[in-house]
Amino acid sequence: MEKSPEEMHPVKAFGWAARDTSGILSPFKFSTRATGDKDVKLKILYCGICHSDLHQLKNEWGFSKYPMVPGHEIVGEVTEVGSKVEKFKLGDKAGVGCLVGSCRSCENCNNDIENYCSKAIATYSAMYHDGTPTYGGYSDIIVVDEHFVVRVPENMPLAAAAPLLCAGITTYSPLRYYGLDKPGLHVGVVGLGGLGHVGVKFAKALGVKVTVISTSQSKQKEAIERLGADSFLISTDPDQLQAAMGTMDGILDTVAATHPVLPLIDLLKTNGKLIMLGGVAKPLDLPVFPLLMGRKLVAGSGIGGMKETQEMIDFAAKHNITADIEVIPMNYVNTAMERLAKADVKYRFVIDVAKTLKPDE
């Protein structure tokens, strides 16, 4: 006999959810499963607001499920562990990123790239193995298989570490995989937002020369003086583009809006790589001849596997890399989404869940 939802998910939880494509969030009661043998239960302390949360809330990618509790940049404290859990104990600080499940048996899973598993389960707006919806970090608790939980190093400030679980791994993984991690190489970073500013920090820590590519002249001082970029390029200035043609080994393109890619391809050296990281909803215009004439590559990358995510956050702790954040209360979240849509944040909103999520709101 099938178990009722109440039996499968007996643990009461509370968060903020959107009910439809308006994306407006409001208080929401739900339930989650009891802590299984291999599960870790976290009391959520902080949750970053990713640009993909905004896309998902409004169903701009076409696969949103409602009611939706967003949030996949989660840092919390372990409050319960299953009997077979090996990596965590009560009181540990831990994180949950974009994944809470995968098949664990395919080639990708066996190669530690669970993020590319065809049955990967997103932290929210997806269906779990048991057929119930996943709810994310804009909430008080989350229960996750320990395989998909990372240890947060003790020296890391928790709020500023949260965005690394998406923005951090999304930029760290392609730098490593595409070989853009060697001292002396020249890497461009397009867009100085939530992804871009972390990408600059990781690239600099890996010893490469970094040029920030932006449409906004106002970001130049910030990019060079605060984030440590070596140079700054205005992508709408033909003279600057001409002067920089053929100088970059690789480019991380973090922009999530429609934008021209030909000027970026022209910046690459022979064998250069343009790596797309932003979830652009509409197809981009991709000219082929500039690729042929320089054996250039346009590729993509999406987050990273669990082993690499742990490696990333350990690397970040060693090199004192955190996100630049604005901490907000839960009831500010709708205003934060409006500001995020206008790129009015430096550079990541993080919700102080533990202190500001009130069940009686």
Distance CA 41, CA 311 (A): 22
**Residue 114 in contact with residue 99, Cβ under 8 Å?**
yes
Q: What is the pLDDT of residue 7?
A: 65
What is the structure's pLDDT at 279?
84
| Number of other CB atoms surrounding residue 215 within 10 Å | 14
Is the pLDDT reported for residue 110 higher than 70? Answer: yes
> Using one digit for the tens of pLDDT, what is the confidence trace for 277-290?
998 888 889 999 99
CA dihedral 174, 190, 200, 171 (to 10 degrees): -30
Specify the amino acid at residue 163.
P
Tokens of 308: 């690499």
For 315, phi then psi, to 5°, come to -60, -45
* Structure tokens that stand for 13 in this block: 């939880």
161-204 pLDDT tens trace: 999 999 999 999 999 999 999 999 999 999 999 999 999 999 99
For the chain, give the percent of residues with pLDDT over 90.
88
Q: What average pLDDT score do residues 284-297 get?
A: 94
How does pLDDT run across 242-261, given as a tens digit for each residue?
999 999 999 999 998 889 99
**pLDDT > 60? residue 2:** no
pLDDT of residue 5: 57
Q: Single out the residue of 358, 357, 361 nearest to residue 46, CA to CA.
A: 357
The residue-averaged pLDDT of 126-130 equals: 92
pLDDT digits (tens, 9 = 90+) for 318-348: 999 999 999 999 999 999 999 999 989 999 9
Predicted confidence at residue 360, as pLDDT, reads 67
Q: What is the pLDDT of residues 33-79, one digit of tens each?
A: 999 999 999 999 999 999 999 999 999 989 999 999 999 999 999 99
In this predicted structure, the answer to whether residue 129 has a pLDDT above a threshold of 70 is yes
DSSP character for 131? S
Tokens of 185: 């190489």
pLDDT at residue 270 tops 70: yes
Q: What kind and span of H or E run contains 77?
A: strand 74-81
- Dist. CA 246–CA 241, nearest whole Å: 10
Write down the pLDDT at residue 30. Answer: 95
